[in-house]
Amino acid sequence: MRIKKEHTAVFAVFVFAYILRVWFLADGALTFGYDQARDAFVTHEILDGDLKILGPPSSTPGLYHGVLYNYILLPAYFFGANPLNAAYWIALINAGTVFVVFVLTKLISKARAPAFIAAFLFAVSFESSQYAAWLSNPTVAVFFVPFLYLGLWLWTENRKKLAPVIVGVGLGFAVQAEIFLLYHAVPALAWLWLRRKGVVRGQFILFTAAFFATISTILVSEIKFGFRGVEGLLSLASSQQGASPAGFGDVILLFLNQLGRVFSFNSYPGNVGYGAALILGLIFFGLWKAKGKVDWSSFLALWLFSHATVVSVGGTSTPFLLVGIGPAVSIILGIYLGKWWQSGYKLGTVLVLVTLVYSNLTFIFGENPKGQTIFAIQKDMLLSKETAALDYIYESAQEESFSVNTVTSPLWVNTTWSYLFNNYAEPKYGYLPFWHGRGQEGRHGNNLVAADGDMRLRYLILEPPAGIPMTEYMATIDREDALGALAQEKRFGELVVQKRILYE
């Protein structure tokens, strides 16, 4: 079968997107903290035959995300414990969104040029490149949310028979990735209502069946654990816990600020104001041009403003609440740049496109070597610096047995370092340290043997202080000072290792 040039070109954009996303991974530019280590442990448990139905916890007590993400990680961790394997795999899924963006833009614009532009802008998107190597459950929604909207357009505009299934699967898997992404049901149902002449009952049944099938593990876990998630949602909706603003004006400002970050990080990250103004201007211009008619501009506006329904109910401090909206930014830019080109504004179109691409690439090559900076709370929790810290510990120990203590975020949870000691240090150096910190009963990775009180060589690992109560941070250092003399302190950015010798 002859391969079309169009397919070859789109595949080339996909390859470029993937290379761009993994460019710095070989240097260990991967944020690896508690969440990443916990998910790695859980995935290895699944590989060992302990199947799971409960996903990682959300910021709302009792409410859990879906378990899909852990199963997506299985192929990566099947081939070893190195987190870089998982990052390469997740980046591949992220880059695959190029195809969804291309197809949806081509369907909307009925032209190839806007579709290629949109796909390329997604490929160079700074935000999408950050999501690509971020080992956390929301990241896979970068693919599933656009997949949902592709199905929605195919359903109402192209009358495809299986489109309702695509919508149900896309929405269900998005909810599996991040429970709060259920809010996409609102714009989806709104669009179906606006285009209701093309919707029949049988299609809606297909959509509902596909949706509930894909969230079945969430439903089963709710039944098994006494509907704690439902209680959490009701509590969240009624109490405005978490980072919810106090007044209506605060809600509006927060909504605009969140949109501004997403709009700029996918268009012109060099200036949040310019990037946000550009996309907002295009949205409202499209709605104005439509003159009340329901068309593609209404469709993209519903997508781009989709998270308005959850701004005031908590969890608003998390940037990944808007995961999956970025591809819509690439699509609207692709459509308008294509229109400008076809209208004869070729020089202006090229200048705008070059400016957007340059801005995104500048941020990618400036920020991505530091890890996933727009999501990470703690700086320097990079795999490269963590493994360098472990190398320092073992090399300075000179094959002598030693014990270790850690100050971590979450506080007193050694999961990250236990994973690294077990899966990086022990294979390389042949032995594990002893443990002289607080008890780790019930924690993932609780296999470091308690140290004897007379162990001479001791190490204290101090994670970057963001998110750690400073009183506990300093109190731990004081306790270590009381037991052993500080022999050396080694810094890996904000990550600190102290070597101590027990007092005689």
Q: Is residue 258 part of a domain?
A: yes
Q: Is residue 322 part of a domain?
A: yes
Q: Same structural domain for residues 231 and 294?
A: yes
Domain boundary residue, one of 312, 337, 370: 370
Classified as helix, coil or strand, 500 is: strand
Q: Same structural domain for residues 174 and 208?
A: yes
Tell me phi and psi for residue 158, to 5 degrees: -110, -5
Segment 487-495 mean pLDDT: 96
Nearest residue to 111 via CA among 447, 336, 287? 336
318 falls in which pLDDT band (50, 70, 90)?
A: low
Question: What residue has token string 């969240």?
Answer: 236
pLDDT tens for each residue of 283-299 = 999 999 988 898 999 99
Work out the mean pLDDT of the chain and round it to a whole number: 92
pLDDT tens for each residue of 420-438 = 999 999 999 999 999 999 9
Report whether pLDDT(86) > 60.
yes
Q: Same structural domain for residues 366 and 393?
A: no
Q: What is the dihedral of CA 339, 342, 343, 344, to 10 degrees?
A: 130
Q: Judging by DSSP bridges, how do beta strands 434-435 and 403-407 pair with one another?
A: parallel
Nearest residue to 372 via CA among 306, 364, 463, 164? 364
Report whether pLDDT(214) > 80.
yes
Q: Are 375 and 152 in contact (CB under 8 A)?
A: no
pLDDT tens for each residue of 335-368 = 999 999 988 899 999 999 999 999 999 999 999 9
Classified as helix, coil or strand, 406 is: strand
Q: Is residue 376 part of a domain?
A: no
417/406 Cα distance (integer angstroms): 8
Q: Judging by DSSP bridges, how do beta strands 457-462 and 495-502 pair with one another?
A: antiparallel
pLDDT tens for each residue of 441-475 = 989 999 999 998 889 999 999 999 998 999 999 99
243 falls in which pLDDT band (50, 70, 90)?
A: very low
Q: Same structural domain for residues 205 and 307?
A: yes
Q: Same structural domain for residues 58 and 206?
A: yes
Q: Is residue 378 part of a domain?
A: no
Structurally, the chain folds into a number of domains equal to 2
Question: Quick one: pLDDT at residue 244?
Answer: 47
Q: Same structural domain for residues 391 and 266?
A: no
Q: Same structural domain for residues 171 and 317?
A: yes
Q: Same structural domain for residues 122 and 75?
A: yes
pLDDT tens for each residue of 13-67 = 999 999 999 999 999 999 999 999 999 999 999 999 999 999 888 877 778 889 9
Q: Same structural domain for residues 362 and 394?
A: no
Question: Quick one: pLDDT at residue 241?
Answer: 46
Question: Quick one: pLDDT at residue 1?
Answer: 43
- pTM score, two decimals? 0.93
Q: Same structural domain for residues 392 and 308?
A: no
Looking at the chain, the number of H-run helices and the number of E-run strands are 23, 5
Q: Are 272 and 259 in contact (CB under 8 A)?
A: no
Encoded amino acid at 257, one letter: N
Domain boundary residue, one of 317, 337, 370: 370
Q: Are 401 and 431 in contact (CB under 8 A)?
A: yes
Q: Is residue 485 part of a domain?
A: yes
Q: Same structural domain for residues 415 and 356?
A: no
pLDDT tens for each residue of 166-197 = 999 999 999 999 999 999 999 999 999 999 88
Q: Same structural domain for residues 356 and 396?
A: no
3/250 Cα distance (integer angstroms): 53
Domain containing 470 equals 383-502
Q: Is residue 444 part of a domain?
A: yes
Q: Residue 202 CB: number of other CB atoms within 10 A?
A: 10
Question: Quick one: pLDDT at residue 314?
Answer: 53
Classified as helix, coil or strand, 497 is: strand
**Percentage above 90 pLDDT, the chain:** 78
Tell me phi and psi for residue 314, to 5 degrees: 105, 165
Q: Is residue 89 part of a domain?
A: yes
DSSP secondary structure letter of residue 451: P
Helix, strand and coil content of the chain, in percent to the nearest 5, comes to: 65, 5, 30
61/136 Cα distance (integer angstroms): 19
Q: Are 410 and 465 in contact (CB under 8 A)?
A: no
DSSP secondary structure letter of residue 368: G
Q: What is the dihedral of CA 339, 342, 343, 347, to 10 degrees?
A: 100
Domain boundary residue, one of 370, 395, 412: 370
377 or 85, which is more confident? 85
Q: Are 149 and 298 in contact (CB under 8 A)?
A: no
Question: What residue has token string 């240097």?
Answer: 27
Nearest residue to 283 via CA among 257, 253, 265, 305? 305
Question: Quick one: pLDDT at residue 253?
Answer: 83
Q: Residue 219 CB: number of other CB atoms within 10 A?
A: 13
Q: Are 154 and 160 in contact (CB under 8 A)?
A: yes
Sign of the torsion formed by the C-alpha atoms of 78, 84, 90 and 95? negative
Q: Is residue 377 part of a domain?
A: no
